[in-house]
């Protein structure tokens, strides 16, 4: 069994870009989240599909210039757990 993550419905969120942060208003909870990289990019590439950390890393590499030498998959997993605890993504498995 492989652990996957799925972002919540797009309509639940209002995005607002700031200089170095992204504000995310989560309608169901009424909570505003201030996101720093790479969390906004992770949510962006997930597109509501159930994905593993490896698949998300692959999508990020395809769309962004990722800083070299980063432990991408483990960092993505840590961010996914963080986003999951906030109700912005859900855990799944396939």
Partner 1 sequence: MNDHLPSESSANVDQNNGIVTRRRALMMGAITASAVVSIKPALAQTAGSVLNCEIPVPGNNVAGGYIASDGSIVSADTPGAFPPAGRNFTGEEVRRAMNGRTLPGTSYDQSQAYVNYIRRLQSGQSGFTCYASLQMPR
Q: Does 78 bind partner 1 (CB under 8 A)?
A: yes
Q: Using the CB atoms, write b or e for 21-39: b if 16+ within 10 Å.
A: ebebebeeeeeebebeebb
Q: Minimum distance from CB of 2 to partner 1 (Å)?
A: 20
Give the number of other CB atoms < 10 A from CB of residue 8: 19
Helix (H, G, I), strand (E, B) or coil at 69: coil
Among 3, 9, 27, 54, binds partner 1 (CB under 8 A): 27
Please pick, from the candidates 54, 70, 90, 92, the single residue that binds partner 1 as defined by CB under 8 A. Answer: 70
**Interaction residues for partner 1, span 28-57 (CB under 8 A):** 28, 30-41, 44
Element (H, E) at 78: helix 72-85
Chain positions contacting partner 1, by CB under 8 A: 10, 15-22, 27-28, 30-41, 44, 60, 63-67, 70-72, 74-75, 78-79, 82-83, 86
């Amino acid at each position: 069994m492989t652990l996957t993550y799925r972002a919540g419905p797009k309509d639940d969120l209002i995005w607002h870009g700031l200089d170095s942060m992204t504000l995310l208003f989560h309608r169901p909870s009424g909570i505003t989240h201030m996101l720093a990289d790479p969390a906004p990019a992770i949510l962006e590439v997930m597109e509501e599909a159930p994905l593993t950390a490896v698949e998300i890393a692959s999508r990020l590499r395809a769309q962004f210039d990722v800083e070299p030498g980063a432990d991408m998959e483990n960092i993505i997993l840590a961010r996914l757990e963080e986003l999951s605890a906030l109700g912005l993504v859900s855990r799944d498995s396939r």
